[in-house]
Amino acid sequence: MALELKQVTKNVGADRHIYETSLVFEPGGFNILLGATNAGKSTLIKLMAGLERPTSGEIWVDGQNVTGVNPQKRNIALVHQFFINYPHMTVYENIASPLRVAKVSDIDRRVREAADVLQLGPMLDRKPQELSGGQQQRCALARAIVKESKAIFLDEPLANLDYKLREELRDQLPEILGERGTVVVYATSEPTEALMLGGHTALLHAGRVTQFGPTPEIYRAPSDLTSARVFSDPPMNLAPVEKRGSEMHLAALSWPVEGSAAQLADGQYTVGIRPHHILPTKPDGASIQIDGTVEITELSGSESVAHFELGAQSWVSLSPGTHPYRIGESHDFHMIPSACYYFDGSGNLAGTGGAHG
Amino acid sequence: MAKITLDKLRHSYMPAPSQPSDYALKEIDLSWRDGGAYALLGPSGCGKSTLLNIISGLLTPSDGRVLFDGEDVTNLPPDQRNIAQVFQFPVIYDTMSVYNNLAFPLRNRCVDEARVDARVREIATMLELEDRLETRASHLTPDNKQKISMGRGLVRDDVNVIMFDEPLTVIDPELKWKLRSKLKELHQKIAVTMIYVTHDQTEALTFADKVVVMQDGEIVQIGTPVELFERPRHTFVGHFIGSPGMNVLPCDVSGGLASFQGQALELEGAISRSDGRTEIGVRPEYVHLADDGISATVRKVADLGRHVVVEAMAGDTVINAIVDGAVPERGAEVKLQMDPRQTRLYADGWIASEEAQP
């Protein structure tokens, strides 16, 4: 019972909002759309839900072409960033409302079951405004699952919640939604959220899907520079390098190339390395020393971040634990060359320095 | 720039408060040094916005005083407190250019034009907006609008305090990261007292020198990011800070030993008290897979890229561990060890073991 986009495009006036996209979303497990604001996440969701019609291409659900079918007739559910509940109805009536519209029997049992899953059992008689933000969003989620629809679309459903509540719901959602045999599509702008939810991820940038695959896999093996940037938080360090023979050169630094990058032709590349692969102390195994001047430091308690400069290049290092840096001081950082990505002139991944973790 | 003192501050939104639960803000005593970077951190409804509104003068407290450099400003309206504020949504004049938006707070105070020009250009450079000065604000992207909003807060150098109320909530993660670093850098350059209100632990901890953690109208701990992470004074702080938060395991105390499910666990130091509900607190960063220790069953494994979080069940208690290297499968039986120097006792939520000797 997959949901399929076949060569879908969307133009609005003269602007192209979605470039030709073909994707297959399977039921069970999460399908995540990850991208910045305006990358096209909400537009894709509206197209899949039938709220907008594609300019070209087709949308298939369960082996049937549903392009142009009214959203009410598609048996789908949609949860937005803003909690949408009927303010004058109780939580019970809110959850029951999609079933009443669909004239389903067995309403009471299904409402109570959905309420149980979302821990709303004791709140069924309350009105939405008597609930906390997290409970209101759980009520909206209960309305989405009670229908037992073929597909559930969630458009940044946790964005308006407090950090800790977000963490809690994010932890529970895969269990609540993942095992219902429904296709779940979840849009987010946060790379960490995508990793926490797991499943499959489609990376979006400026109306194009740049990569799609199992979430941790595409995190470790970005196909191009754009995908690597979309899926890095904090941002990936990027710098121009030159390959000469068996070495990479970056200003005054050089290091031996290993892994698939050893096969590359000599010439100019862009090196990409995530901040947690540049460390303030020498790790076990091969590392390249970078002597930089510390510009800014941030301590999150569990992790330390340092922004440092070497020549014209800015770098960011992220390491576990607390590390006492002094601003303006020079410090020896250590880059792990096996964790480097090398991108060619058109931005495609040309090779890596070896292992990735 | 000013030192800010909050003296026995209390606030209730009720006309005749009679008991502690009637107060949105219970007794707050606090002193903030001139030029410091502070964060107020807590969940919705913890009282942090109430406290911010009292400092800015939008709200008069039921009891207590607010002092700027020793001078009582409790009853002064906001416009006489000489403060700057940056809100969650950009507050700018859409029809004005970036330049005029930044100049506005200065011109409003009749600062001479030469000084206005110098200051606007300085702030625009810091915010990397120097080539946008003539652009109409309405043509900017949301994050650039928020930068202008921050610039308007930063442009005056004579303010007592700059207050930020969830200023990065509407910004995408990558830009959020950049703006956060920018703000940190600006504070390191201009050293004005700054107060940053947020529910986001990462924002609070990365921005502030000292973080005030609030719950139910009370301050539960004031500390540096490292202190809050390394030695939370209350289980709430342990849970709220860190992702996932601190593990809290119910335990029994007898004969100077704390045991979880019948197994004694070594603590950071001696037990100082054991009245009421007793719990052991240990962060997932300090729980390791080992050959022996607490028996648990792996319930979930989350690969977060930088590390893996293993969620295990010991009976009906959840224990999270951050794991590097070999990762167990879901359903596997594992043994968990805790780092004794990072394992603490809590009694009725408050820390009840003595600090480890260095």
A220 and A245 inside one domain: no
Residues A112 and A138 in one domain: yes
B217: left (phi over 0), alpha (psi -120 to 50) or beta: left
Range of weakest confidence among A121-125, B132-136, B142-146: B142-146
Residues A225 and A256 in one domain: no
Assign residue A21 the CATH number of its domain: 3.40.50.300
Are B202 and B241 in contact by the 8 Å Cβ rule? The answer is no
Select the residue of B241, B245, B304 nearest A192 (Cβ to Cβ). Answer: B304
- Domain B4-230 class in CATH: alpha beta
Interface of A with B in 212-241 (CB under 8 A): 216, 219-220, 229, 233-235
pLDDT of residue A355: 60
The H-or-E segment that residue A192 falls in is helix A191-197
Query: What burial class does residue A301 get, using C-beta atoms within 10 Å of its C-beta: 0-12 exposed, 13-18 middle, 19+ buried?
Result: buried
Q: Which chain B residues are closer than 8 Å to A301 by Cβ?
A: 201, 205, 225-226, 228-230, 241-242
Neighbouring C-beta atoms of residue B267, cutoff 10 Å:
25
Interval B258-282 mean pLDDT:
95
What is the C-alpha separation between B284 and B266, in angstroms, rounded? 16
Interface probe for A, chosen from B41, B144, B145, B181 (most Cβ of A below 10 Å), is: B181
Q: Does A169 touch chain B (CB under 8 A)?
A: no
For residue A119, give the 3-state DSSP assignment: coil
Q: Is the pLDDT confidence value at A315 over 90?
A: yes
Residues of CATH 3.40.50.300 domain(s) within chain B?
A: 4-230
CATH 2.40.50.140 in chain B: give the residue spans. Answer: 244-351
Is pLDDT of A82 > 80?
A: no
* Whether the predicted pLDDT of B300 surpasses 70: yes
Residue B126 has pLDDT above 90, yes or no: no
Chain A hits for B202, Cβ within 8 Å: 300
Q: What angle do CA B188, B194, B199 make, to 5 degrees?
A: 110
Is B206 close to A299, i.e. CB distance below 8 A? yes
> Which residue bears the tokens 């219970």?
B26
Residue A33 has pLDDT above 50, yes or no: yes
Cβ distance A195 to B245 less than 8 Å, yes or no, reads no
Any idea what the Cα angle at residue A221 is, between residues A219 and A224, rounded to 5°? 100
Residue in A36, A164, A318 closest to B43 by CB: A164
Order the strands of the B343-347 sheet from edge to edge: B247-250, B278-282, B343-347, B350-351
Tokens 């703000």, residue?
B183
* Residue A309 scores a pLDDT above 70: yes
- The strand pairing partners of B321, in sequence order, are B310
Give the tokens for residue B116. Answer: 């206005």
Which residue does chain B place closest to A39, by CA atoms?
B172
Q: Identify the closest residue of chain A to B237 by CA–CA distance.
A: A164
Verify that A35 and A149 share a domain, yes or no: yes
A177 or A90: whose pLDDT is higher?
A90
Q: What is the ipTM of this complex?
A: 0.84
Number of domains in chain A: 2
B149: phi then psi, degrees, rounded to nearest 5: -60, -40
CB distance A296–B181 less than 8 Å? Answer: yes
Chain B positions in Cβ-Cβ contact with residue A324 (cut-off 8 Å): none
In A29-162, where do the E strands start and end?
30-34, 56-61, 64-65, 76-79, 151-155
Alpha carbon distance B307, B321 (integer Å) = 10
pLDDT over 90 for what percent of chain A? 64
Q: Which among A347, A190, A174, A166 has a CA at the least distance from the CA of A269?
A: A347
DSSP 3-state of A211? strand
Choosing from A230, A247, A280, the residue where a domain stops is A230
Q: Virtual CA dihedral for A147, A148, A149, A152, nearest 10 degrees? A: 90
> Would you call B300 exposed, middle or buried from its count of C-beta atoms within 10 A (0-12, 13-18, 19+)?
middle
- Tens of pLDDT, residue by residue over B61-84, are 999 999 999 999 999 999 899 999
Q: What is the mean pLDDT of chain A?
A: 91
Overall average pLDDT of the B312-324 stretch? 95
Question: Cis peptide leading into B244, omega within 30 of 0?
Answer: yes
Give the tens place of pLDDT for each residue, A225-236.
Answer: 999 999 998 899
State the alpha helices, DSSP H only, in B127-249: 142-154, 173-190, 201-207, 225-230, 235-240
Q: Around Cβ B107, how many Cβ atoms within 10 Å?
A: 13
Res A85: pLDDT: 87
Q: What is the mean pLDDT of residues B294-318?
A: 94
- Residue environment code for A319-351, b if the CB has 16+ CB neighbours within 10 A, otherwise e: beebbebeeeeebebbbbbbbbbbbbeebebbb
Tell me: do A288 and A212 sit in the same domain.
no
Q: Work out the average pLDDT over A3-29.
A: 94
Indicate the pLDDT class of residue A357, thresholds 50, 70 and 90.
Answer: very low
The torsion defined by the Cα of B228, B233, B239 and B243, in degrees rounded to 10, comes to 20
Q: Is A94 helix (H, G, I), strand (E, B) or coil?
A: helix
Q: Check if the beta carbon of residue B165 is closer than 8 Å to that of residue B52.
A: yes
Q: How is residue B12 written in tokens?
A: 């209730």
* B85-to-A11, B46, B57, B122, B202 alpha-carbon distances in Å: 41, 20, 11, 19, 21
pLDDT tier, B1 (very low <50, low <70, confident <90, very high otherwise): low
Judgement on whether residues A101 and A218 belong to the same structural domain of the protein: yes
Mean pLDDT of A57-62: 94
Residues of B near A (Cβ–Cβ under 8 Å) read: 43-45, 142, 172-174, 177-178, 180-181, 184-185, 188, 199-202, 205-207, 224-226, 228-230, 239-245, 283, 285, 302-307
- A136 versus A301: the higher-pLDDT residue is A136
Cβ pair A340, A327 in contact under 8 A: no
pTM to 2 decimal places: 0.88
- Which residues of A fall within a CB distance of 8 Å from B206? 298-300, 305
Question: Chain B residues with CB inside 8 Å of A189's CB?
Answer: 172-173
Token look-up 């609540």 returns: A176
Of A210, A230, A250, which residue is a domain's last? A230
Tell me which residue in A133, A163, A327 faces B188 most closely, judged by beta carbons. A327
Q: State which residue of chain B sits closest to A233, comparing Cα positions.
A: B174
Chain B closest CA to A344's CA: distance in Å?
23
Mutation to test the A interface, candidates B40, B144, B174, B177, most A Cβ within 10 Å: B174
What are the CA-CA distances from residue A63 to residues A3, A21, A24, B312 (Å)? Answer: 8, 18, 12, 40
pLDDT, residue A148, reads: 82
Residues A129, A19 share a domain? yes
Give me the amino acid identity at B32: W
Interchain CB contacts (distance < 8 Å): A and B: 93
- Residue B297: Cβ-neighbour burial (10 angstroms; 0-12, 13-18, 19+): middle
Is the same domain home to A307 and A332?
yes
Give me the residue from A298, A301, A307 closest to B229, CB to CB. A301
Backbone phi, then psi, for B123, in 5-degree steps?
Answer: -65, -40
Question: Same domain for A191 and A260?
Answer: no
Q: Could you tell me the residue range of the domain that residue A261 belongs to?
A: 237-352
Tens-digit pLDDT profile for residues A169-201: 888 888 888 777 899 999 999 999 999 999 999
DSSP state, residue B328: P
- B121 burial type by CB count under 10 A (0-12 exposed, 13-18 middle, 19+ buried): middle
**Is A220 close to B305, i.e. CB distance below 8 A?**
yes
Examine the pLDDT at B14 and tell me if it is beyond 70. Answer: yes
Q: Quick one: average pLDDT of B325-353?
A: 95
> What's the pLDDT at A117?
84
The CATH number of residue A255's host domain is 2.40.50.140
Choose from B306, B310, B341 for mutation: most chain A CBs within 10 A: B306
Angle at A165 between CA A172 and CA B40, to 5 degrees: 155
Torsion of CA B194, A232, A338, A214, to 10 degrees: 150
Of A194, A214, A230, the residue that ends a domain is: A230
Element (H, E) at A98: helix A91-101
* Residue contact B245–A164, C-beta within 8 A: yes
Residues of B whose CB is below 8 A from A327: 188
What is the rounded CA–CA span in Å between residue B233 and residue A320?
Answer: 22
- A53 lies in a domain? yes
A12 and A54 in a common domain: yes
Least confident range from A335-339, B236-240, B321-325: namely B321-325
Cis upstream peptide for A275 (omega within 30°):
no
Pick the CATH number of B244-351 from 3.40.250.10, 3.30.70.260, 3.40.50.880, 2.40.50.140: 2.40.50.140
- Which pLDDT band, with edges at 50, 70 and 90, does A313 fall under? confident
Phi, psi of B209, rounded to the nearest 5 degrees:
-75, -40
Specify the DSSP class assigned to residue B59. Answer: S
Among all chains, which residue has been given the structure tokens 């340092």? Answer: A306
